[in-house]
Chains A and B, each alone.
Chain A
Amino acid sequence: MSTQLILFFVLAAIAIFSAISMLVSKNSVYSAMFLVLNFLTIAVIFLLLNAPFLAMVQVTIYAGAIMVLFLFVIMLLGADMAAKGKSLSWQPPIAVLLSGVLTLEFAFIFFYRQQDILPTIEAISETYGSPASIGKLLFNFYLLPFEVTSVLLLVAMVGAIILARRETA
């Protein structure tokens, strides 16, 4: 087994563990911290997959900016209101069961029908995934979507300010 594969299994174990911990944590601050751990492990997997630019974007935007926003709102709303009202008691077991079925379906397709969907990987060229080539694609062929993204972020900013603003008569 190669070093890469061992590293991948360790990272996958951490990612799945942190995702499950995020789901079961009673305190939302812990949930957010486990989600940061998950994003960081995924960023390292991105590095293994020849995507260094996206690994850095993942760390700065996801684990940095987005999770700070989450933590800020959790703190703003006074950490945790424990759920008072009882929720539907039959729902969680069925949700877990159906999620298990969905996972098995995914695994079936990825392991037994892989010749239908996956190409065989030969050796990957040295320059694949370099930030320079991503940038060239982004600023040539995808220039218009890239510029539209800035409008999207502006709209989101204005919308967030309007929605979260206190009503003044």
Chain B
Amino acid sequence: MTIPTNYLLTLSAVLFVLGVLGVLIRRNSIVMLMSIELMLNSANLAFITFARAFEAHTGQVLVFFVIAVAAAEVAIGLSLIVSIFRSRGSVDIDQISQLKG
């Protein structure tokens, strides 16, 4: 007996919502980036769940590309955080308000 598809999708949805919650309530930009990773990962879980449900390999190949894009995104995001930290001395999102009118 296999795991029902809707259980897996519910787990994926719960993890995604926890990622959204992390972006909304945490002010530390590094933890916000980690929450985005959590969301990407839950989307990967949904991809693989549907790939199994339809017995198609395309979903699994797409997850591979999502992981590659996530790696690039993390590299750019973290270097942005490092350069913001150098100029502002903080990684707190609320402190970064230079463009505020």
Which residues in A have some Cβ–Cβ distance to B below 8 Å?
Answer: 2, 4-5, 8, 12, 15-16, 19-20, 22-23, 28, 31-32, 35, 38-39, 42, 45-46, 48-51, 53-54, 57-58, 61-62, 65-66, 69-70, 73-74, 76-77, 80-81, 83-85, 87, 91-92, 95-96, 99, 102-103, 106-107, 110-111, 114, 118-119, 121, 124-125, 128-129, 133-134, 137-138, 142, 145, 149, 152-153, 155-157, 159-161, 163-164, 166
Contact = CB atoms under 8 A, between A and B. Distances in A.
Contacts of A57: 64, 67
B61 A137 contact: yes
A153 B72 contact: yes
Interface of A is mostly: helix
B76 A160 contact: yes
A163 B52 contact: no
Contact of A95 (B24, B44, B70): B24
B38 A137 contact: no
A45 B68 CA distance: 20
Interface in B1-54: 1-3, 5-11, 13-15, 17-22, 24-28, 30-31, 33-35, 37-38, 41, 44-45, 48-49, 51-54
A45 to B, nearest CB: 7
A54 B14 CA distance: 21
Given A51-B48, A87-B94, A35 B37 contact: yes
Contacts of A8: 3, 7-8
A31 B29 CA distance: 12
**Contact size class for B?**
35 or more
B53 A119 contact: yes
Contacts of A149: 65, 68-69
Contacts, number: 220
Contact of A99 (B20, B28, B45, B68): B20
Contact of A121 (B2, B79, B81, B86): B2
Contacts of B3: 4-5, 8, 48-49
A106 B64 contact: no
A164 B83 CA distance: 5
A111 B6 CA distance: 7
A103 B69 contact: no
A156 B83 CA distance: 15
Contact of B64 (A54, A74, A118): A54
A12 B81 CA distance: 32
